[in-house]
Structure 1
Amino acid sequence: MTTDTMSTTRTRRGALELVAAMGLSGTLGVFVLESGASSFNVVFFRCVFGALALTGYCLFRGYLRNTGLTRRTLALAALGGVFIVFNWVLLFSAYGRTSISVATVVYHTQPFYVVLLGVPFFRTGLDRHRVGWIVVAFVGVLLVADVSTADLTGGSGYLLGVGQALLAALLYAFATVIAKYLTIRPELTALIQVLVGIVLLLPFTRLGDTAGIDARWGWLVGLGVIHTCVMYILLYSSYQKLTTDRIAVLSFVYPAVAILVDFAVYGHRIGPLQMLGVPLIVAAGLGVNLGLRLLPGGRRPAPERHTPAPAPVPAGQEVRR
C-alpha cells in the first residue's frame, strides 16, 4: 500500500469517527430529557458511569501506567473539570427551558469564545475578519433566540435557557484553553475531569430522587458509557487523523443531528426566523476556523492554531495539520 493510499484511508477513517462522535453528540439531549432527572443528578451520574467506563478503558490500554502527571498538570486537568462539569449542568438545564435544537445551536458558539480567549492567553491576532464573523455569529444567536418564541413559551424561562446555553459555551471555551497547556493523554484528562465532577456535584445531587426512576437508569448509564467514554474515544481518535479544516466542517454534524432528533422525537421545529440564524452561526463558525475573509480588502487571515470545540466534551489532543 502506497503512502498516499494509507494517508487517504487514515483520513477517511478519521472522518467516519468524527461523524459518529458528532452524531452521538446530537442524541445527547434525548438521553438527558428521557432520564427525567434534574440537571445536577444527570451530570453526577454521567460522571459516575463515565468514570467507570473510562477507568476500564484506560486500564485495558495501559494508559494508567507512566501517565506523565505532575502536580501542575493534575491541577490544570482538575480545573478544566470544574468548567466542564458546570458547562454540562447549564446545557442540560437549557434543554428543558428552550429545546434541544435551540440550546444546541446557541451552544455551538463555543469556537468564538475560544478565539476571543486566545487573545489574552495565547496572544493570537484578532483582525477585522474574525471580529466580523463573531458579529455574524451573535446576530445568528439573536435570531435563534427569537424573542417572539420566548413570549409564547413562558418568557423569562425561555430566555434564561438561552443564557444558560451561552454561559455553558463560555465555560467550555475556558476548558479548551486550559487543555492547551496539558500534555497528558486526552482520555486521562477526561477521566480526571469526571472524577472531579463526582466530588464537586455530590453536595448538589439528590440521591433520594433516583428511587423511582426504574428503567430510566438506562438513559443515565448511556450518558456515561456512550456519550462520555465511547464518544471521547471516537472524538480524540479522529483528531489525530484529521486536519483542522476538516474538523471544523464535520463538527456541524452535531447541531444538524440535534435539530433532526429534536423534531423526530419531540416534534420541536425551529421557526422561520430561527432558521435564518442557524446558517449564520454555521457560516461564522467555518469562517473563523478556516480563516475565511469576510470583508473586502486586506489579506486572508490565517486560521486559528487551535482544535475547534465541536461537542460538549473536554478539549484534548492537538490535531495533525
Structure 2
Amino acid sequence: MSGMGGTGDGTSASNAPARRETRGAVELTAAMLLSGTIGVFVVESGASPFTVVFYRCVFGALFLGLYCLARGFFRNHGFTPKKLALAALGGVFIVFNWAFLFEAYGSTSISVATVVYHTQPFFVVLLGALFFRERITRQKAGWLLVAFLGLVLVAGVSASDLSGDGAYLVGLGYALLAALFYGLSTIITKRVTGVRPHLVALVQVLLGIPLLLPFTRLGESAHLGTGWAWLAGLGFLHTGVMYALMYSAYQKLPTAKIAVLAFVYPAAALLSDWAVYGHHVTWVQALGIPLIVAASLGTNLGRRPRLRRARPAVRPPASAASPGRRTAATPATAAARRATPAA
C-alpha cells in the first residue's frame, strides 16, 4: 500500500508544474480579455480622458490597497527610498500613458489606437539602447522595420486625413506617445526589484491621484450618471482584478507563453470595438496587424526575421553550435522580452 501511495504522490508532484502553468495561462487570458474591454468602459463613461484616468486611479488604489492589506503584502514590503522613487517615476509615465491612449480612442477608434499602441516592445528596445547603451542588432533592427511597415498599414492615413483638421493624425500621435510612455515606465519599473508588483502598482495609482488632479474636470462628476459604474469598473476590474490576475500569471508562466498570450488583448479590443460600435479595420489595415504581431513576438522571443538558409553538409559538434548559446540578458533585453502590453 505504501508503494502505491508513493507512486500516486510522485504522479501528483510531476503534474503540479503542468497544472500551475495551465492555471497561469487561464489567469493571463482572463486578464487580457478584460484589458480588451477597457476602450468600451472609457467611451461609455462619458468623461474626458484625464478625468477617466483620475477616477481609475482612485478606484484602483482602493482595490489594490485592500488587496495588499488582505494578503499581508505591507509586511516586509522591500521598498527602499531609491526603489520607492523609481516606482513613483514609473507611475508618472504609466498614468499619462493611460491618458494619451484614452485620448487616441476618440480621435481614431479603439481598434486602431490599440494596434498602434501595441508597438510598446519596440520602444522598450529603443529606450534600452538609449539608456543602457545596448546595441541594436541586425535582428532587432529587422523586427523594428517590420513593425514600422505594419504601423504604416494600420495607420491607414489618407489624403483627407492630411487635408482635414488633422484629428486622426493627432489620435495616432497620442497612441504612439502612450506606447512611448509605457516603454519608459517599463524600463524604469524593471529596476524595482525585490518588491511585489502589486505594491509598485499601488504606489503608481496613488501618485496618479494628485498628479492628474490639475488636469481633471471635476465638474463633470455631477453629470456622469451611469458613467460612475463604468469608471468604478475601470478601477476595480481593469486596475485591481486585471493586475492581480496578470501578476499571479507571470509567476507561473515562461516568457514565451506570456508573449503569445499578450495578443489576446488587441484581439479582444478589436472584437469589442466591432461588437459594440460596429467599427472595423479596413483590408489594408488588416494587412498591417500580423506584421506588428509577428514583429512583437520576434522581439520578445528573440527570433530572426529572415529566410531559412541552406544548412552545411557537415554540421559542427553540439558543443560548438553557437545558436544553442545564450548571452546574459541585459536589463533592457529582459524588459523587452517580458513587457506585456496592457493598458
Aligned to 2:211: 200
Q: Tell whether 2:63 aligns with 1:33.
A: no
Distance (Å, rounded) in 1 between the aligned partners of 2:305 and 2:143: 7
CA contact (8 A) 2:88 2:204 kept: yes
- Report the equivalent of 1:271: 282
Kept in 2, the 8 Å contact 1:25–1:311? The answer is no
Which of 150, 160, 181 in structure 2 is aligned with 1:171? Answer: 181
Q: Once the two structures are superposed, what CA deviation does each residue of 1:30-82 show, in whole Å capped at 9, x if it has no partner? A: 00000010011000000000000111101101111221211111111110010
Report if the CA contact (8 A) 2:88-2:207 is conserved: yes
2:34 maps to 1:19: no
Q: How does 1:87-236 map to 2 (within 5 A)?
A: 87-148=97-158, 151=161, 156-183=166-193, 184-236=195-247
Matched-pair contact (CA < 8 Å) for 2:265–2:342: no
Does residue 1:305 correspond to 2:315, yes or no?
Answer: no
Q: Comparing 121-130 with 93-102, which one deviates more in the overlay?
A: 121-130
Task: Report the counterpart of residue 5 of structure 2 in structure 1.
Answer: none
Shift in alpha-carbon separation, 1:153–1:14, aligned structure 2, 3 A:
farther
Alignment partner, residue 16 of structure 2: 6
Give distance in 2, aligned partners of 1:158 and 1:68: 44
Say if 2:272 is the partner of 1:261: yes
- Pairing 1:282–2:276 present: no
Contact 1:88 1:312 in 2 (8 A): no
- Of 42-51 and 140-149, more deviation after overlay is shown by 140-149
CA positional deviation for 1:153:
11
* Cα separation, 2, equivalents of 1:267 and 1:152: 25
Distance in 2 between residues matched to 1:79 and 1:276, nearest whole Å:
37
Contact 2:104 2:175 in 1 (8 A): yes
Question: In structure 2, what residue type is equivalent to 1:305?
Answer: A
Amino acid at match of 1:162: L
Which segment drifts farther, 149-158 or 217-226?
149-158
1:22–1:311 CA contact under 8 A, matched in 2: no
Residues 1:250 and 2:265 are matched in the alignment:
no
Q: Distance in 1 between matches of 2:152 and 2:109?
A: 15
Where in structure 1 are there 5+ consecutive unaligned residues? 314-321
Contact 1:80–1:179 under 8 Å retained in 2: yes
Question: Percent same amino acid at aligned positions?
Answer: 60
Q: Quick one: which amino acid aligns to residue 109 of structure 1?
A: T
- Distance (Å, rounded) in 2 between the aligned partners of 1:281 and 1:223: 27
Letter of the structure 1 residue corresponding to residue 201 of structure 2: A
Q: 1:251-286: per-residue Cα shift (whole Å, max 9, x none)? A: 001000100110000000100110000000001011
The answer on whether the counterparts of 2:32 and 2:342 sit within 8 Å (CA) in structure 1 is no
| 1:58 corresponds to which of 48, 58, 68 | 68
**Runs of 5+ consecutive residues of structure 2 not aligned to the other structure:** 1-10, 312-321
1:150 to partner: Cα distance: 6.0
The 3-state SS of whatever aligns with 2:83 is helix
Amino acid at match of 1:102: V
Amino acid aligned to 2:27: E
| Residue 237 (structure 1) aligned to one of 228, 248, 251 | 248
Distance verdict in 2 for CA 1:233–1:149, change over 3 Å? farther
Query: Is contact 2:93–2:185 with CA below 8 Å preserved after alignment?
Result: yes
Amino acid at match of 2:15: T
Deviates more, 1:303-312 or 1:159-168: 303-312
* Contact 1:172 1:312 survives alignment (8 Å): no
One-letter amino acid of the counterpart of residue 261, structure 1: S
Distance 1:150 1:2 in 2: 63
After superposition, give the CA deviation of every residue in 1:192-217 in whole Å (9 maximum; x if it has no partner): 00011001011111111111111110
Counterpart AA for 1:140: G
